[in-house]
Amino acid sequence: MNTVDSTTVGGVEPAVTQLRGVTGDGPGREQRVALVRPPVVVLPGALATHGPTPPLGAAYVAAALREAGHPVVLIDGAGEAIDQLIEIDSPIGTLHSLGLTLDEIVDRIPADTTIVGVTTMFLHEWPTVRDLSRRIKRRLPDVLLVLGGENATAFAPWILDQCAAVDACVLGEGEATMLAIVDRRSRGASLAGLPGIAGRDADTGQVVDAGLSIRLTKKELNAGIPRPAWDLVPLDKYWEHYPFFGVDRGRAMQVLGTRGCPYKCTFCSSPQMWTTKYVVREPEDVADEICEYAERYGVRNINFVDLTAATNRRWTLGLCDALEARGPDIDWQLPVGTRIEAIDREVLQRLWDTRCRNVTFAPESGSQRMLDVMDKRASLDKILQAIVDAREIGIRTTVNILIGHPEERRSDLAKSVRYLLKASWLGCSDTAVMMFAPYPGSADFQALIDSGRHVIDDAAYYVGLSRGSADHRSWNPHLTARQLRWMQLFMISSFYVVNWIRRPARSIAFVRSLLTSSEETYLDQMVRTKRRKTAPIAPPRRARPARRRTVPVAGPSREHDDALASN
């Protein structure tokens, strides 16, 4: 990969503002980079089923740095101690931090490191990342400490205001910006005016946002970005546990086939992270990557983590053609809500033919008025037809519904209930009903901040984590948090009651899943992840240090014994 020019990036001239703490490091000095993924923080008892997954973004950045010739280490705070559980207090109750302690992470950063990059994807990670950042700076006061990821992009003004230990935030896509940072530091140049970062003005201390970096083009994405540096990640430790993402169909890996989303839903932070530019990799390259994982690691399942993988019909069919031509012995699924524009019976048949077994649709509401309010461009009728077609073909489908949006009326909610039950009756396999939470970077978040209806305090950090629990709050003037929680539980339970009445064989299959640990649906996955949760030894005490304990390692996945050793 070519080194990014230090004076201009994507044709954008640097501003004259000098940034505090990010001046040059002296010409000719080699930069040594440590990338850090913090431990994963989860809320026990919440409906969400996600836990530690291999750090795809950090692995991509590490690969880009290494290909450019820069020494880099990746410290995976979750994966390196995935069976270690630490209880921490929070405004929404006791949380579980899965992975290394913060001091253990800091101790693993080499003493000669000059740049530390910490990835932070979610707002509820910020208190942990803030504490980690301060500890890093206490031990290595001369390093350049930068944060990157979705939350670093959307929450940068608050991050830089609250934590002096953080020197800068990388905004948007990380590979090119991190290369530019390392290049400038190695030549003794300032980072002032570098697009893609936010820092502090050297004179006033005010936050200076240079704007998003120029997005990678399709050519750059396909020719210039190496495969993720999975050799720096303890993949075996992830595979020793059941997967927390996607239905367990054997040893799994994550793949990113596209970047960004061309739409601007008001509840989503994607436009601030990626703009609305949608960039796809060549289908053949994606298929080659999947085959490599099957051959090298014995992978039997691929989880696509794209924001919306099937937006482009031609690309989707091209991927199916490429997989069919190579014929890997592997299943794949789309566990993240995809759009409907490119989905029809022909596409669904091709997905099934190439062993795609689970697809998630994300209408978010059964009310057309709410779709208009949220700028969610989706055809409710087309999704229902896709559910029917998928059922007849054999693909398991999930429908995502969002309730409690600030503009949602009771009549809108009633339409969502009817729509969800209709989807169940027509053959949809699963549902995820989540309560609204204002994500930093989204239009809804900004509107609530501007109106004074949302305030950034200690409790605000956890609204995304609590939205699947009884500890959530409501931003809807017509529905209380308690009402939303009951409605959430009612919609989920009603969905499955209708599902099993309409198709009794599915209830039998669910019982079989409980007895055999085989999985076909999201419900199977959710029950499995909840069953292996371990109750705390004793209630945590306030104002006391977090307590650490090790939880038993779950048994291997169904095809682990037959898989080759080595996310």
19-37 tens-digit pLDDT: 555 554 455 578 999 999 9
Going by C-beta distance under 8 Å and a sequence separation of 6 or more, which residues neighbour residue 541? none
24 inside domain: no
Whether residue 184 is found in the same domain as residue 249? no
Phi and psi at 329, nearest 5°, equal -85, 80
Q: How far is the CA of 2 from the CAs of 178, 179, 222, in angstroms?
A: 13, 9, 14
pLDDT beyond 90 at 549: no
- Distance between CA atoms of 188 and 202, rounded to whole angstroms? 17
Give the strand pairing for 197-200 and 168-170: antiparallel
Q: Which of 94, 61, 96 is nearest to 78 (CA)?
A: 96
How deeply is 454 buried, as exposed, middle or buried, from its count of CB atoms within 10 A (0-12, 13-18, 19+)?
buried
Of 159, 185, 209, the domain-final residue? 209
Mean pLDDT, the chain, as a whole number? Answer: 85
Residue with more model confidence, 556 or 283 = 283
Q: State the amino acid at position 258 in one-letter form.
A: T
378 inside domain: yes
Q: How many CB atoms lie within 10 A of CB 414?
A: 12
DSSP assigned state of 242: -
Whether residue 257 is found in the same domain as residue 197? no
How deeply is 281 buried, as exposed, middle or buried, from its count of CB atoms within 10 A (0-12, 13-18, 19+)?
buried
Whether residue 205 is found in the same domain as residue 262? no
Residues linked to residue 254 through DSSP beta bridges, in sequence order: 303
2 inside domain: no
375-391 tens-digit pLDDT: 998 899 999 999 999 99
Whether residue 187 is found in the same domain as residue 251? no
**pLDDT tier at 468 (50, 70, 90 boundaries)?**
low
106 inside domain: yes
Which range, 47-61, 178-192, 369-383, has the best average confidence (pLDDT)?
369-383
Q: Is 249 helix (H, G, I), strand (E, B) or coil?
A: coil
Are 558 and 517 within 8 A, CB to CB? yes
Scanning 4-124, the segments in alpha helix (DSSP H) are: 56-67, 102-107
Q: State the amino acid at position 86 in one-letter form.
A: I
Which residues form the domain of 453? 242-500
Helix axes 345-353, 380-393, angle to 10 degrees: 40
- Distance between CA atoms of 134 and 484, rounded to whole angstroms? 38
Whether residue 309 is found in the same domain as residue 455? yes
Residue with more model confidence, 487 or 18 = 487
Q: How many CB atoms lie within 10 A of CB 88?
A: 17
Whether residue 300 is found in the same domain as residue 398? yes
Number of domains, the chain: 2
CATH code at 182? 3.40.50.280
pLDDT at position 127, please?
Answer: 95
- Distance between CA atoms of 104 and 93, rounded to whole angstroms? 25
Q: Please report the DSSP string for 297-347 in residue order.
A: H---EEEE--SSTTS-HHHHHHHHHHHHHH--S-EEEEEEEEPSTT--HHH
CATH code at 380? 3.20.20.70
Residues in the chain, overall count: 567
Q: Is 116 helix (H, G, I), strand (E, B) or coil?
A: strand
pLDDT at position 522, please?
Answer: 85
